[in-house]
Structure 1
Amino acid sequence: MLRSAVLTFALTILLCTCVRAQTVISGRVVDQGGGQPIEFATVLLVEAASGSGIGGTTTDASGYFSLDTESGGVYLDISFIGFETRRMEGLDLSGKTLELGVIELTARGQTLDEITVRAEKSTTEFKLDKRVFNVGKDLSSTGASALQVLNNVPSVNVTIEGQVQLRGSGGVQILINGKPSAIASEQGNLLGTITADMIESIEVITNPSAKYDAEGTSGIINIVLKKEDAKGLNGAISVNTGTPDNHSVGLSLNRRTDKFNLFSQLGVGYRELPNEERTENRNLLSGQTVFSEGTEYRNELYYNAVLGTDYHINARNVITLSGNFSYEVEDQPSLNNFRLTDASGEAMSTWRREEVTEATNPKYQFELAYKRDFEDHEDHDLLVSALGTLFSKDQSSEFTNTTLSGEDRDARQRTRTNFGEQENTFKIDYVRPVSERVTVETGTQYVTNDVNNDFSVSNFDGLDFLVDPDLTNVFNWDQRVLAFYGTGAYEYEQWGLKVGLRAERTKLETLLETTNEANSQTYTNLFPSAHTSYKISEGVSVQAGYSRRIFRPRLWDLNPFFNPRNNFNLRVGNPNLQPEYTDSYELTSVFLLGETSLNLGVYHRYTTDVVERVTRFEENVSITTPLNIGTNRSTGIELNAKVIPAEFMTITGDLNYNFFARQGELEGTSFDFSADQYSGKVTTKFDLPLDFDLEVTGQYRSAFQTVQAEVSDQLFADLGVRKRLFDGRGAVSFSVRDLFASRIQESVIDRADVYQYNRQLRGRFITLGFSYGFGKGETMQYGGQQRRM
């Protein structure tokens, strides 16, 4: 009994000693510069005596926080990336609640007495095979998007519509942390949801080393993200309309938490792509000529959905998983008018050919990647990734010939296409700094392509449609490419050297099932590369590089069956086509002069087994086929510059001139000749009053010669205007592609026996759009799916 009483008394004393009233501390954290709420700011409760954290929380989307404490003698440390930490001391915890009101955080580089940004300037440094643009606080503290950061990188230009160009050319491969990503895919632009404060640096590679695919692009841009957490929710919504019909709605989202980076996009749209075409096939022996003229359309209703995440297991391990589904419904109402004349120019027959085509195109894409950062060095990495794409097309077409005068040309024809393609890429990349000056890289890649194209043509005999066995077949194309590579780099102060070797084994098999025509090719190639750079001063560097490249025939280079839209001008593939190889040499000097960046380079490329499209004529019908013909030596000079002559103006210019010598022979005919070609492009951007942006682009490409044809020059212009709204979060944009409808593609083949003239014009495209970015998302346009076939 006594023991029980003592225990009860002791527990009572203990409870009275330990329990004190709780105090709820709350407040709202905002940006001192503009009063904007700061989401995911850290609020840390610290014991004053020991300086140890004893609790904490983060702010919500409105900047609010709330936490409970039973302790006395505490203070709060409130912090967020890019801002000075704010300490709240002398807290009165005598009541049940403590409302701190609005708490302002000051951006780093600012003082309360003098609101001036002492920003770390973004800088460009030159490394062996690339240029690295380090993102400073002048950009990272502004809330700019990845697109705006890219626009500050020398040699890189981003149009008002969000297209990324390198040295004036599109077709740039954009990587995120060294790997392909749905965020950077042209099929759905999510780059606007990445903000500048997420970006560590931008790497620009114009002459890729042996680490990268031997099949090249116009360049590689790698966006390296920081490893900090808790960036909040960013996104953008876009609505566009235009003529010819081009309407779309897109929503892009990016949410970063302590463990996850979630990204998604939803989009739907409809567009028309007309193509005015005119051809003339003149038989100089018989005197007969076939004229055709008409407009071909490709209309699409498309849907697109992207969903993915980066899961940060811990500070050094991250897994990426993403998926992309798109679905297109095609309609191709086309009409061509034909006229056949005799040697005197009199019409022998006139008729029209109408096309009705319907198709559905589903596409699936997935990405799975794992990246490991080792503790001993920030550049010691392991990356394992898998990327898969499945695409299919079910298409049916009907062509109707209607005689208008002269000889009877009435006919009906149907085609059917059941197409399927699966492509998978598996990669392992390992980077290991051996010392402060030496780095080695090694890895492997395996790419599989499996294609099945079931194509059928049927002709109407008056009662029924009968299959044409000469134009009907099942084409199978299977390609396997296994690659291994290794590179070694040495960097010493201003100078460095990087060498590498890539080995690729390609196995290609094609089969025409109906006629049992098979072709099998297996070849192994070595692709060496060497790069060096020398930094003369902070603003002047010289880079030199060599790489060996390959162009493997694509599906449509090999597939002998095509849609006979214009049955007097046919395209057919060549299942026996061989790859072409190029040795590429480049010497580039880079100058940074204040706000001006200048790149001057010379290059030489030697290509063997050049793939050329050769046209032959049979009974007034032209048939164009790709063939391997000889060699090509091209030497050129390239100049590109980015100049900021005034705060409101940026000028980007590109100039390229090359002289080439072709040597080749086909069926006893020599194709030896020499010629030159040049092109130029100037883009001027104006930052106008009332938050208007104006962008004008002029481009010229000279005429040039191919093995058979003379291709005419082109001169055209694009225009874009944007009005920023809601303090830059929203924008209305207006753009005109090919302002004067002058981007005409013309070619002439003039031989002793035949003359062919071909002219194509896409025409003027006008687009009006509205976009709104939330969080720190950039206002941007959703362009939908990129056309595949």
Structure 2
Amino acid sequence: MKLIYFILLIALLIVPKTLLAQSNSILVKGVVVESEYNTPVEFATVIIKDKQTKKNITGTTTGTDGSFEIETNAANLYIEVSFIGFASTIIREFNTINGSIDLGTIQLSKDNQTVDEVTVRAEKSRTEFKLDKRVFNVGKDISSTGMSALEVLTNVPSVNVNIEGDISLRGSTGVQILINGKPSVIASEGSNALGTITAEMIDKIEVITNPSAKYDAEGTSGIINIVIKKEERKGLNGSMSVNAGVPNNHSVGISLNRRTEKFNLFSQFGFGHRELPRDKKSINTDNNTNTTVFSEGTEYRNETFYNVILGTDYHINKYNILTLSGNYAYEVEKQPSLIEYQIVEKDVETALWYRDEDTDATNPKWRYELQYKKDFRDKKDHQLLFSALGNFFGKDQSSYFKNTIEYGDVDNGDQQTRTDFKEAKHTFNLDYTNPFSKEFTLEAGSQFVLQDVSNDYEVLDLDGDEWVPDPGQTNVFEYDQKVLGVYSTAAYEGAKWGVKLGLRLEHTNLNTLLINTNERNQQNYSNLFPTLHSSLKLSSAFSLQAGYSRRIYRPRLWDLNPFFNIRNTYNVRVGNPDLKPEFTDSYEITSIYVFNKASLNLGVYYRYTTDAVERVSVFQDNIIVTKPMNIGTNRATGVEINGKYSPQKWLTFTGDFNYNYFKKEGEFNETIVDFNADQWSSRIVSKIKLPAEFEVELTGIFRSDRRTTQFEYAAQSYANFGLRKKLFKGKTVVNLSVRDVFESRISEGKASEPEYYLYNQTQSGRFITFGVSYGFGDGEAMEYSGRRR
């Protein structure tokens, strides 16, 4: 808490200075567009110049929507707007009204003398800050070469992905993962957590810690939105990437785009193979009997994957666009493992055996989306949007476990499992936006989500020469959830300040059924989710933002399903059919400072969660069974800092720091929970531009030790390295990526109680990937995520 007060004090000392600096200033604003298609020009240069000396006074670049704002104290001025490949526009005549110059829409025309000679690729800053979200541009991250989407998330500020693949945001789980702003089975826990999406397919990742009411209320810690690339450049464009790595990590990706006056055809094709070894070690000690079970070995997850995205935008006319797209992915999994087990009783080794696993699975996934967008003639951004989205994911898996006993009396025979999993999810959205004026905008809409899941799981034991089903571990679990949501938001955004109010109503109907035992769980509830966002621009160098939202975390399929995988019979995870949803009220205040060579984003946040969900472990007969439970309340207070500093044109540092203090109160299994703890994480990235168009990127990541209700987890520190070389005027890019350079990313957790001691360790090791990307036609190599102008 002292750290929070110290940072707030610094902010309060800075504010008066910025307030004094803005007196007698003039605000210049406008929007820059291309004259041919009337689309926004991003990163266009806007310069304020002195009429007499012709020298530059100040300047800026346009945002993603082509808009800009500049403050100046100069009175005798003119404005120049330029972008390479376009003729510059000079504006000398304008009106100043109430200290503001509104230039309206500024059109840039192509410069025919240079447009065919110069290839320009706009590099977006690594992280951008907007009113209600932060945007991480993947193309700027050299070390992401060949990564899956899950691995890319490890480089995103505020996001933590542990070795097991669990995602948390600001130290809290309950994250909603979206693809292109909508839910998808490709991002669900049961579908190998984004394994078929590679970094080359991703445009950007948006981190939304306090979503507005327009978004689904799911996800108590916020939303992570993965935006897939879709180009709309005129003509035929394309790019191709090839990656190879150690351990085996090979992939090929192809992107094609064809734009005509009426149609925009887009496609992506990808396939590859990767191996994900994990060294695992565990210790289970029963202090009452002085008996310990040791297990150690390597688990593999080897995947061959294929991914196809096809779609088209049909521009019916200037005001109506119809989009149809489809995504099909297919995975073939093999999970071999060999684990050694030992039993030691009173310091004497009494048993030794090996458990050999052979698992095969196929995972088909498909996704479709039909979207209709209508722009109204009366004003810009007045639109109606309808979308229908369908998802399907299946898993056909079989496993064989063979136990080889070296010596000792071990009650462990050979086993088989069979899994037949099917998930269908359909989402329908209707959104209406009406900007009644330049300052005031109204939004309204609705969403209906239907999710239907069936998980048929069977365990068979070898009895002599016959496989016999185990009725205690065999069942069919059915999960059916429907969520209806309606929302409305109203926003005012002036030159200096803005506010956005929203309210969302959601009704949830959840039914689960264990068919063999006829156990049912029904939940039917309605909830209101208010949101509030505001911003205040005190000067061109300093602004404040504040936000509030109420969120929900609904139990997922794997949280509710009481049946478990028997991969390790001494460390078992199961679901809890009686689990209730948790609710979170989230508050935050953020300040953004922009200096000459640096920028700083400083935020303070507070989250209050009821019916907080946490995984709780029960120990008996040297077996630990872990399942999620509602333990009570959780109060978390935190500070987050993100910064960028460029002391030289060839050198840039970016970093982020997150600290939070939390207090948990409640009970489980008649045990009182009342404890507080803190945790923090930091990340620093240095990017160095070398001669001959070489670039080097070094990343260091540290995460402090942390505590849950029962477990304590050790601190982690590791480093990533990236090297990039551009060839043929940027048409070809060569990348080298080394992740976990020193093999120091080790996950260690332990629980020490009077009755037992538990220890778990997991390590994945070093990954090296080499990649080549080539852009053809008017396309560009898969290094950048911005459009070419």
TM-score (norm 1): 0.78
CA contact 1:321–1:369 (8 Å) conserved in 2 = yes
How far off its partner does 1:606 sit?
A: 0.4
What aligned pairs does 1:576-591 form with structure 2 within 5 A after superposition?
576-591=578-593
Partner of 2:436: 434
Partner of 2:531: 529
Give, in whole Å, the separation in 1 of the partners of 2:296 and 2:701: 27
Instruction: Give the drift of 1:183.
Output: 14
Q: CA deviation at 1:769?
A: 1.2
Counterpart of 1:357 in structure 2 is: 359
Q: Distance in 2 between matches of 1:772 and 1:186?
A: 23
The verdict on how the C-alpha distance between 1:221 and 1:390 changes in structure 2, with shifts beyond 3 A counting, is closer
Which of the residues 237, 240, 243 maps onto 1:234?
Answer: 237
Q: Which residue of 1 aligns with 2:98?
A: none
Q: How far apart are 1:247 and its partner, in Å?
A: 0.9
Which residue of structure 2 lines up, in the alignment, with residue 552 of structure 1? Answer: 554
Distance, in Å, in 1 between the alignment partners of 2:517 and 2:85 is: 62
Give 1:558 shift: 1.1
Quick one: which of 164, 167, 174 aligns to 2:157? 167
Out of 480, 489, 492, the position equivalent to 2:482 is: 480
Deviates more, 1:161-170 or 1:290-299: 161-170
Deviation at 1:406, TM superposition (A): 2.2
SS in 2 for 1:357: strand
Structure 2, gaps ≥5 residues long = 1-34, 48-54, 67-80, 87-117, 146-151, 161-166, 168-175, 188-193, 785-789
The CA distance in 2 between the partners of 1:202 and 1:350, in whole Å, is: 48
Structure 1 residues 521, 582: closer, same or farther in 2, change over 3 A?
same
- Which residue number in structure 1 is paired with residue 644 of structure 2? 642
1:270 maps to which of 268, 273, 277? 273
User: Alpha carbons of 1:394 and 1:137: their partners in 2 closer, same or farther (altered >3 Å)?
Assistant: farther
Displacement of 1:729 after TM fit?
1.0
Cα separation, 2, equivalents of 1:375 and 1:768 = 50
Aligned with 1:351: secondary structure? strand
Q: Is the 8 A contact 2:201 2:228 kept in 1?
A: no
Aligned partners of 2:465, 2:185: CA distance in 1, in Å?
A: 51
Q: Distance in 2 between matches of 1:140 and 1:336?
A: 61
Measured in 2, the distance between the counterparts of 1:202 and 1:358 equals 32
Counterpart secondary structure, 1:565: coil
Q: Which residue of 1 aligns with 2:522?
A: 520
Amino acid of the residue matched to residue 616 of structure 1?
A: V
Task: Give the structure 1 partner of residue 456 of structure 2.
Answer: 454
Residue equivalent to 1:98: none
| Aligned residue in 1 for 2:629 | 627
Provide the rounded CA distance (Å) in 1 between the counterparts of 2:740 and 2:619: 33
Cα displacement (A) at 1:463? 2.1
The AA in structure 2 aligned to 1:685 is K
What is the match of residue 248 of structure 2? 245
Deviation at 1:166, TM superposition (A): 5.0
The SS at the match of 1:609 is strand
Is 1:153 matched up with 2:128?
A: yes
8 Å CA contact 2:664–2:675 kept in 1: the answer is yes
State the secondary structure of the residue aligned to 2:414.
Answer: strand
**Contact preservation (8 Å) 1:143, 1:776:** no
Tell me the residue number matched to 2:504: 502
Matched, 1:421 2:396: no
SS, match of residue 556 in structure 1:
helix
| Matched residue, 2:746 | 744
2:558 is paired with a residue whose SS is helix
Alpha carbons 1:192, 1:778 under 8 Å: kept = no
Distance 1:395 1:255, change over 3 A: same
The Cα of 1:533 is off from its aligned counterpart by 1.0
Q: Is the 8 A contact 1:181 1:367 kept in 2?
A: no
Instruction: Judge conservation of contact 1:121–1:137 (CA < 8 Å) in 2.
Output: no
Are 1:569 and 2:571 counterparts? yes
Equivalent position amino acid for 2:61 in 1: S
| Pairwise CA distance, 1:686 | 1.1
Partner residue of 1:699? 701
> In structure 2, do the counterparts of structure 1 residues 695 and 766 end up closer, same or farther at CA, with 3 Å as the change threshold?
same
Deviation at 1:704, TM superposition (A): 1.1
Match of 2:318 in 1: 315
**DSSP-derived class of the 2:559 partner:** helix
Cα distance in 2 between the residues matched to 1:126 and 1:701: 36
- CA deviations on 1:728-776 (whole Å, 9 max, x unpaired) are 1112211111111111111111111011000011111111111111234
Percent pairwise identity:
51
Q: Does 1:122 align with 2:124?
A: no
CA apart distance, 1:620:
0.8
Q: Which residue in 1 is equivalent to 2:339?
A: 336
1:340, CA displacement in angstroms?
0.4
Describe the shift of the 1:589–1:221 C-alpha distance in structure 2 as closer, same or farther (beyond 3 A): farther
- Report the alpha carbon displacement of residue 125 of structure 1 after superposing the two structures with TM: 10
Instruction: State which structure, 1 or 2, has the greater radius of gyration over its C-alpha atoms.
Output: 1
RMSD (CA atoms): 3.4
5+ residue gaps, structure 1? 1-78, 84-106, 111-115, 128-135, 195-200, 783-789
The verdict on how the C-alpha distance between 1:700 and 1:488 changes in structure 2, with shifts beyond 3 A counting, is same
Structure 1 distance, partners of 2:324, 2:290, is: 63
Query: Where does residue 665 of structure 2 map in the other structure?
Result: 663
CA contact (8 A) 1:238 1:781 kept: no
Q: Is the 8 A contact 1:234 1:776 kept in 2?
A: yes
Q: Aligned residue for 2:261?
A: 258
Q: How many residues align?
A: 658
Displacement of 1:167: 3.2
Please list the CA deviations of residues 11-55 of structure 1 after superposition, one character each: whole Å capped at 9, or x if unmatched.
xxxxxxxxxxxxxxxxxxxxxxxxxxxxxxxxxxxxxxxxxxxxx
Once the two structures are overlaid, the 10-residue window that deviates more, 720-729 or 281-290, is 720-729
Q: Indicate yes or no: 2:300 matched with 1:297.
A: yes
Q: Which residue of 2 aligns with 1:774?
A: 776
Does the 8 A contact of 2:46 with 2:62 survive in 1? no
Q: Cα gap change, 1:321/1:282 in structure 2, threshold over 3 Å: closer, same or farther?
A: same
> Offset of 1:438 from its aligned partner?
2.1
In 2: Cα distance, 1:109 partner to 1:416 partner: 63
The amino acid that maps onto 2:124 is V
Q: Is the 8 A contact 2:185 2:425 kept in 1?
A: no
Residue 719 (structure 1) shift? 0.8
Residue 233 of structure 1 deviates from its aligned partner by 2.1
- Find the aligned partners of 1:278 and 1:226 in 2 and give their Cα distance: 43
Partner of 2:95: none
Q: CA shift at 1:520, angstroms?
A: 0.5
Local SS of the residue matching 2:359 = strand
- Decide whether the 8 Å contact of 1:119 with 1:138 is kept in 2: no
Which residue number corresponds to residue 306 of structure 1? 309
Partner-residue secondary structure (3-state), 1:557: helix
Show CA shifts across 1:468-520 (max 9, x none): 00000000011111000011112333122211110111111110000111101
Shift of 1:266: 1.4
